[in-house]
Amino acid sequence: MLNNDDKKLIKDFKSMVIPNIYKDDKTDCLLFVEHVDFDVCEDLLKGKKRFTKDNETEKNEFDRFLSQIDESKFDSYALLHFERIKKIMNLFFEKMS
């Protein structure tokens, strides 16, 4: 069950515009960002549980996403967006395990 702070984090993240840095790089980070926005956040809000194998896949995808990020290229907005993704994914792993 999500508390009010968790719900606010998700609501604030979903209201953000995806930073252009994800759209302009040569990675698939944009796909992961959209996945967090449309799938992970919705699963959290609905309290939808996933199978352990799905959680392992999410962890692998998240690790790959993190490995492709160069925070030094982010402006303050992109950095805030990125920090929220990390918090949401950590929340996801906590709540879905």
In percent, how much of the chain has pLDDT > 90? 79
Q: How many CB atoms lie within 10 A of CB 49?
A: 11
> Would you list the domain boundaries of the chain?
4-96
Lookup result for tokens 């992961």: 32
Average pLDDT score, the chain? 92
For the question of whether the overall pTM of this predicted structure is more than 0.75, the answer is yes
Residue 64 pLDDT > 80: yes
Half-sphere exposure of 5 (CA within 13 A, CB side): 2
Confidence band, pLDDT 50/70/90 cuts, at residue 32: very high
